[in-house]
Structure 1
Amino acid sequence: MSRPYKGIWPVAPTPFNPDGTLDLESMTRVLDCMIDQGADGICILANFSEQFLISDAERETLTRLCLEHVAGRVPVIVTVSHFATEIAVERTQFVKDLGASMVMMMAPYHGALMKGTPTQTYEQFKAVGDIGLPIMVQDAPLSGVDLPVPLLVKMAAEIEMVKLFKIECVGAAAKLRALIEAGGDAIEGPFDGEEAITLLADLDAGATGGMTSAMIPDQIKPVIDMHLAGDRAGATAAYGRVLPAINHENRQCGFRAAKAAMVEGGVIKSEFCRHPIEPLHPDTRSGLMDLLRPLDPVVLNWGK
């Protein structure tokens, strides 16, 4: 089938002032930069947005600002994950009323030991699906919840709004391949995640899109586009060019990488991350820039 969801849908970082308060002016610049990077959609309030370091009041402020500022230029996906089903439902209704295109959510979990059972996970996604927005299931190691392929297929087949799957567990390509084979047309958006560290294998397995950070989506987008067009050799070459930077982001920096690049390129004013997150070590940051500069990405030139 021709799967309707494809392309690159990166996660927007949340910029803070050096005193730790939200930098809303920089937030609008982040969104504009991401659109200029060629993003096919934008995800906000995800883990790479530091959603676990943001208050409920700040979530509301950021959601309103982002949806108003993007103003339909690209679809906006809002992360609504919460252990409490009622809160996940409330968040979904709130963002639907504001015009969000989709929500993303992990299985219910809290800490290392409180994990939703398959039944509880199904019930939570069903309750959120009843609000009527498409859902991207985030299969992330962070939750610690195992989401076996039969459960995901059952959700896709029986919950109308469960349409997309961001697979970033160990062995993502094998899981994507099995999910697509078992789920067929119900798997409308099989997506790669985890900063594209396994993107080529995931595309080979049938992924049609990727959710990366906002660091270099303009450099990763051609990999996806060429692969979807049948040019695997071109996609392989393009992927090889950017993989060292992706590896450094994924293994050394995490969500701090996009902020560092955006400060370097004049997109945002500060790469501050709230405690207990530590700033990047100067050598780690310098190594990242050494890998990014030869790529000449949009992010390093956008604000200059």
Structure 2
Amino acid sequence: MSLKSSLRGTGVAIVTPFNEDHTIDFEALGKIIDFQIDGGIEYLVTLGTTGETPTISKEEQVQIIEYTYEKVAGRVPVVVGIGGNNTQAVVEQLKSFPLEKAVAVLSSAPYYSKPSQEGIYQHYKALAAASPKPILLYNVPHRTGKNIDAETVIRLAKEVPGIGGIKEACGNFTQFAKILRDAPQDFLVTSGEDDIAIPQIAMGMQGVITVAGNAFPKEVSTIVRLALEGKFKEATALNNKILDVFTLLFNENNPAGVKAFLFEKGLIKNELRLPVVPLSAPNQQKIKDFLNSYKAD
């Protein structure tokens, strides 16, 4: 089964909850997983950037993967995030991490190094050769410092076995259109941007990997399903109800914003690992005010 069919709809890049001493709060992680699945999401993404992976040790990452499999218990597909700017180190993780129960690996473009397009191509070619699961490219240039150009995406999709799709978050609609036009028929193209997911789906994308879904799984998954059914008026009406969430999430930092929402909903402690800190009091209050005024259907 291609990623285009198995990962159609809403995937949530879940947070990593911490205790006051900054150890992993597995009890809260279990609550988050159940909250997502009960909310109707189609799949989970663990160890994405929203999960604060730069601050989580390899041993902790393995624990999180194994706990996620156990808690999900086959109810939805699981995608595991594994990336970095040391290609050989990522290759070793792909060989050693427990990926048997994953459907795919989400891997962002190498950050900070700013390789050429040929360097990006060779990086992903090496990952695909080592990975036991299909690779889902992740293009997020505002974080990595380098765009994966549409031509490179198409080259990888057509030439490298094991490259199964892309999470696109570059914000460039011309690039989206080129990828959707030229990619192989079974290549997954999904949104990585909550605020523009509806028009991206209208262009032909197969869904979204969302941050907002952590706190609003029912709403986001419903919006995406409506959009995929071509019911854009209904999708937009529901999207407008949570439109302010997209700004509140990223006022200071991700995942500080979404963790603030989850804290106010009583699902996690408001703890993050440095260099990320909780939201300032004024922005935390804005989230409280939104939730106090928000009325879910």
TM-score (norm 2): 0.90
CA 1:99–1:244 in 2, change beyond 3 Å: closer, same or farther?
A: same
From 192, 202, 205, the equivalent of 2:203 is: 205
Gaps in structure 2 of 5+ consecutive residues: none
Aligned length: 290
1:117 is matched with 116
* Residue number in structure 1 paired with 2:246: 246
Which has the larger displacement, 283-292 or 75-84?
283-292
Say whether the 8 Å CA contact 1:77–1:100 is kept in structure 2: yes
1:14 aligned counterpart, secondary structure = coil
**TM-aligned CA deviation for residue 203 of structure 1:** 1.7
Question: What is aligned with 2:34?
Answer: 32
Report the Cα distance in structure 2 between the residues aligned to 1:292 and 1:70, rounded to whole angstroms. Answer: 28
Question: CA 1:136–1:3 in 2, change beyond 3 Å: closer, same or farther?
Answer: closer
2:216 is matched with 216
Show the counterpart of 2:162. Answer: 161
Contact 1:174 1:205 survives alignment (8 Å): no
SS at match of 1:81: coil
1:70-119 Cα offsets, whole Å, 9 max, x none, are 1221111111102222222222233454421110011223x3xx222222
1:21 aligns with one of 20, 23, 31: 23
Q: Which amino acid aligns with 1:68?
A: E
Once residues 72 and 261 of structure 2 are traced to their aligned partners in structure 1, the CA distance between those partners, rounded to angstroms, is 21
Q: Does structure 2 retain, via aligned residues, the 8 Å contact 1:249–1:257?
A: yes
Distance (whole Å) between structure 2 residues aligned to residue 211 and residue 160 of structure 1: 23
SS at match of 1:138: strand
In the TM superposition, 1:1-304 aligns within 5 A as 3-4=4-5, 5-95=7-97, 97-109=99-111, 111=112, 114-130=113-129, 131-141=131-141, 142-171=143-172, 173-186=173-186, 188-194=187-193, 196-213=194-211, 214-268=214-268, 270-296=269-295
Q: What percent of counterpart residues are identical?
A: 24
Q: Deviations over 1:178-202 (max 9, x none)?
A: 111121415x2211113x0212221
Cα distance change, pair 97–168 in 1 and its aligned pair in 2 (3 A):
closer
Residue deviations 1:14-57, cap 9 Å, x none? 01111212112212222111111212111111111111111222
Contact persistence 1:107–1:116 (CA under 8 A): no
> Distance between the aligned counterparts of 1:175 and 1:53, measured in 2?
32
CA contact (8 A) 2:253 2:276 kept: no
Matched position secondary structure for 1:197: helix
For the residue of structure 2 that corresponds to 1:115, the secondary structure is coil
Could you tell me whether the CA contact under 8 Å between 1:215 and 1:257 is conserved in 2? no
Aligned in 2, Cα 1:215/1:247: closer, same or farther, shift over 3 Å? same
Which deviates the most, 271-280 or 114-123? Answer: 114-123
Checking the alignment, whether the CA contact within 8 Å between 2:251 and 2:283 is kept in structure 1 is no
1:185-222 CA distance string (max 9 Å, x none): 15x2211113x021222122221110111121211112
> Could you tell me how far 1:68 is from its partner in structure 2?
2.1
- C-alpha distance in 1 between matches for 2:70 and 2:36: 15
- 1:301 corresponds in structure 2 to none
Cα deviation, residue 123, structure 1: 2.0
Tell me the SS of whatever aligns to 2:121: helix
Shift of 1:258: 2.4
Query: Counterpart of 1:276 in structure 2: which amino acid?
Result: P
Q: CA deviation at 1:265?
A: 2.3
RMSD: 2.1
* Structure 1 position 58, deviation (Å): 1.4
